[in-house]
Structure formats: structure tokens, C-alpha cells
A = this chain, B = another copy of it.
Amino acid sequence: MIKVGLDMMGGDFAPLEAVKGAALFLKENTNAVHLILIGDEEKIKAQPDFSQLPQGSYSIVHAPELIAMHEHPTKALKEKQQSSIAIGFHLLATGKADAFISAGNTGAMMVGALFSIKAIEGVLRPTIGAYMPRENGKLGLLVDVGLNADCKPENLNQFAVLGSLYAEHILKIENPKVGLVNLGEEEGKGNLLAQATYPLLKENTHIHFAGNIEGRDILMDKADVMVCEGFTGNVVLKMAESIYDITQRRNIKDEHFDRFNFEMYGGVPVLGVAKPVIIGHGISHATAFKNMINIACRMNETDLTGKIKSCFSNNVSNE
């Protein structure tokens, strides 16, 4: 029985959409999954879709406090021990939950993931990625998208491994191709970071390195896992998100551009921490919550964290 902790108070439409998402997930899912709904019990129970939740498939853990979207992460986590995010991490750290999902304060989620769950041994810096839609309907993974604004070559080398394991086991891409985001295709191109990262990726036996990829390749399928520092990755992600906004405003109906609605993907996990933590988009709706629960389950089923652990115990960090 997988126990998934879900922050019901996180995101712009909480707890309404979180309850809807939980109901949607449980409806479609006959698996042995138990949801731990963390939040204001009264408010959770007051949601119209609450009655849709099958008895016995969930429990509620009351959290009387709330960390708002723009509170200072470290301060809020420390001071609000009874907030849904603090309680979620407590449940995860003590083994009462197998995964924790929240669309709440991103900073607090990152701080919680890094300090109450901690990095897997050998992982220098955990990372967070984002999906990039391809015209063939598949997804690529861009990593990092903001957790690590300044990186060293060995960080990018590890992101490549973390992203590859995620792509292989969660996105089910066999032998995923890793591309280094760069300003030119040829080896030797790039800023100092990219130039120093290239040889590390080339010699890394844990990945299938496909060379440099350029900005024009990010939305194509030249690489399944696209590696860069979190500054560029964050700018790229938010620009990709804005493309969807433009198509909506201009009334463009297109199957592919619809996939730029990043909201529907929910979120991707923090990769490299010792237990599954998924940080959702603030504007997550029901489908996003459902998708995040699915990812949490798949991470548990495939034991992604264990696979990362065993890979990094073989000294990936020194390659």
C-alpha cells in the first residue's frame, strides 16, 4: 500500500482543486494507494467533491496553519510547524507517508525537500526539471529549471544522470538521449560552464550523451533530457509557458500548442532527494493534482529513489 501525502492547501485553487484531483485519481485508480489529505479538515470536508472520495482510500491529517505563497520559505517552515507543508514533510521523514506533493509555496517545498528529507548520498545538488512538449506527443525533460541558479560542471553532470533515470523509469523512454543546452552544436562551443561540462558528459557511462543542443532543439526531440543550469532553464521554461498564453489570447487551436499548457502536467519531482517530493505549479487544477499523484505512485512502484541511490553509490559524482 503506497501512502501519498497531499497538501490540500497549496496552490491558487486550494482546497477545491486538490479535492477534485484526489477524487479524479481515486476514481480512475484501483491500485493500492492511500491518500493522506493534509490541511484544514473543515475546509477539505466542505468541498463539493469531497463526497466523491471513496471511504477507506484516504485519511485526513488536520493542519491548522497555512504557509502563504509569498511567505519567506525558511522562516515560514520554522515558525509554522502546524502548516500543511511542515506536516507533510514530517510525515514523509518519519515514514508515515511514502511521497509528498504540494502546489504551495515553492520555496518552502524546496527548503523542506533539501533540509528535512536531504539529498541522496553522493548527490551534490538535487535538481528540479520541467517537461518540454514535442510534436510527436512525447515529453522531454529540461533540467534544472531554477533550483540551482549557479552551477558547476559536476552539478550538470549529475543532473544528466538524475534526468536520465527519471526519463527512463517515469517517462518510460528507453536509453534516453541527453543533450547539453548550448549556443552552438560543435564540441568546444559555449560559455565556460558548458565547455567544461561537455567532456564530463561525454565520459559519463551512466548516460547516453547526444552532444550539444541549441535553443531551436529544445522544443524538438533531438534530446530526451536537456541539461543546463537553473538560470537558463528557468527563463526557457517560463518563455515556453508564455507561448501557450499567446496562443490562447490569439485564439489559436492546435493540438501541439495545447501541450504547452504546463498546468496540466502538475509538477515534476525534486530529483536527488531521499524520498519522492513533488512540487506543483501554483495554478494547478484537478488534472494536475491527479497527474502528480500518479507520478508519486510511479516513483514508488519503480523505486526511482532506490535506483538513484544505487547509481550514485557507484561514484557518479567523481566521473
> Does A21 sit within 8 A of B, measured CB to CB?
no
Number of interface residues of A (CB under 8 A): 40
Given A149-B190, A181-B235, verify A242-B229 contact (CB < 8 Å).
no
B232 touches A246 (CB 8 A): no
Is A252 part of the binding interface, using a Cβ–Cβ cutoff of 8 Å? yes
Q: Mark A164-197, 1 if CB is under 8 A from B, else 0.
A: 0000000000000000010100000011101000
A75 contacts B by Cβ under 8 Å: no
Report how far A190 CA is from B230 CA in the complex, Å.
Answer: 10
Per-position binary interface string of chain A over residues 267-292, scored 1 when its CB falls under 8 Å from any chain B CB and 0 otherwise: 00000000000000000000000000
* Contact assessment for A235 and B252 in the assembled complex, using a CB-CB cutoff below 8 Å: no
| Apart from A149-B192, A215-B239: 8 A-B pairs, beta carbons within 8 A | A150-B192, A191-B229, A191-B230, A215-B241, A235-B236, A236-B239, A246-B257, A250-B256
Q: Which residues of A contact B (CB under 8 A)?
A: 135, 146, 149-150, 181, 183, 190-192, 194, 214-220, 228-232, 234-243, 245-246, 249-250, 252, 254, 256-257
Q: Are B254 and A235 in contact (CB under 8 A)?
A: no
Q: A190-B149, A250-B256 are in contact. Are A242 and B216 (CB under 8 A)?
A: yes
Residues of the B chain whose Cβ atoms lie less than 8 Å from the Cβ of A181: 235
Cβ contacts under 8 Å, A216 to chain B: 238-239, 241-242, 245
| A231 contacts across to B, CB distance below 8 A | 183, 190-191, 194, 232
CB-CB under 8 A from A256, the residues of chain B are 246, 250
Chain B residues, CB < 8 A from A246: 135, 219, 256-257
Find A214's partner among B194, B238, B240 (CB 8 Å cutoff).
Answer: B238
Query: What residues on B are CB-neighbors of A230 within 8 Å?
Result: 183, 191
* Whole-angstrom distance between the Cβ of A110 and the nearest chain B Cβ: 13
Residues of B within 8 A of A238 (CB): 214-216
Q: How far is the CB of A27 from chain B (nearest CB, A)?
A: 34
Contacts A/B (CB < 8 Å), 13 sampled = A135-B246, A149-B191, A149-B192, A149-B194, A215-B235, A215-B237, A215-B240, A216-B238, A216-B241, A216-B242, A219-B246, A239-B240, A246-B256
CA of A192 to CA of B229, assembled, Å = 12
Within the assembled complex, what's the spacing in Å between the Cα atoms of A146 and B189? 11
Cβ of A234 and Cβ of B146 under 8 Å apart? Answer: no
Give the distance to chain B from A237, nearest Cβ to Cβ, in Å.
6
In the complex, the answer to whether A218 meets B235 with C-beta atoms within 8 Å is: yes
Q: Are B150 and A191 in contact (CB under 8 A)?
A: yes
Q: In the complex, which of the residues B183, B220, B242 contacts A235, with contact meaning CB atoms closer than 8 Å?
A: B183
Q: How far is the CA of A140 from the CA of B215 in the complex (A)?
A: 19
- The residues of B that contact A240 with a CB separation of less than 8 Å are 215, 239
Which residue in chain B gives the minimum CB-CB distance to A253?
B252
Q: When chains A and B are docked, how far (Å) is the Cα of A212 from the Cα of B163? A: 29
Q: In the complex, what residues of B have CB within 8 A of residue A236's CB?
A: 215, 235-236, 239
A143 to chain B, nearest CB (A): 14
